[in-house]
Structure 1
């Protein structure tokens, strides 16, 4: 729990108490001061809650990243094993797919640069 949440809750409570005392005494200045203190406490409490939420989200993201880093070797190994099983099960299909990808890459790399169309000038 953040310090701002504790201080904000205390200010909010003090503002409510001050506003209640102002209501009982009939003093509008005390009522207004209590409402202002209550609002400031509410804002500070919300600020502390936001800081807590950001801190929790950061810790969760760090935990997910750490887990992903620790398990990345297993995932890569599982993927390569699954790919090798597919190639062993269907070698001709795998060869055709690899050839198609190579052909497409060769077409993309060997295309000439597009030139703008010629401009015709008519003199007349």
Structure 2
């Protein structure tokens, strides 16, 4: 409980007493002081209540944040990490399969080349010729060295 609430309640109670005594004795000054003390006590009590409420809200918010942080950590540990691990394992499996296929295809291609070396040389020459035609300049131009 906030100190202002305690002080305000005591001041309010004292103000009521002064007001009552002043009214009983016909002392308007004492009665006015009692009313002023009562009003000030009410304000202090309200300020203390607001501080208590703010403190409680802050504590509630902090505990809620702590609870949410725990839930996020649990989700990461129980769901996200295993899912990432499974995805990494799957990607590793696919990479190994791709490597195996590439090795097998390379071995097959090497076998074809060994069995048919002349056909292979002919195919390579044809591909080289086509690439040269596609990327080469026209033969009608004469080569001119750049230093001329």
Shorter chain as normaliser: what TM range? 0.5 to 0.7
Aligned to 2:24, the other structure's residue is in SS state helix
**What are the residue-to-residue correspondences of 1:25-104 with 2, within 5 Å?**
25-76=25-76, 77-78=78-79
The whole-number CA distance in structure 1 between the counterparts of 2:36 and 2:20 is: 13
Q: How many residues align?
A: 83
TM-score by length of 1: 0.61
The whole-number CA distance in structure 1 between the counterparts of 2:3 and 2:34 is: 22
The whole-number CA distance in structure 2 between the counterparts of 1:30 and 1:78 is: 72
Give how far 1:69 is off.
0.6
Listed one character per residue, the Cα deviations across residues 9-67 of structure 1 (whole Å, up to 9, x for unaligned) are: 00000000000000100111111110000000000000000000000000000000001
Give how far 1:78 is off.
4.7
Let me know the Cα RMSD of the aligned residues. 2.1
The whole-number CA distance in structure 1 between the counterparts of 2:18 and 2:43 is: 17
Structure 1 unaligned runs (5+)? 82-124
Which structure has the larger Rg over C-alpha atoms?
2
TM-score by length of 2: 0.51
Listed one character per residue, the Cα deviations across residues 64-96 of structure 1 (whole Å, up to 9, x for unaligned) are: 000111110333555898xxxxxxxxxxxxxxx
Structure 1 segments, 4+ long, off by >2 Å, are 73-81
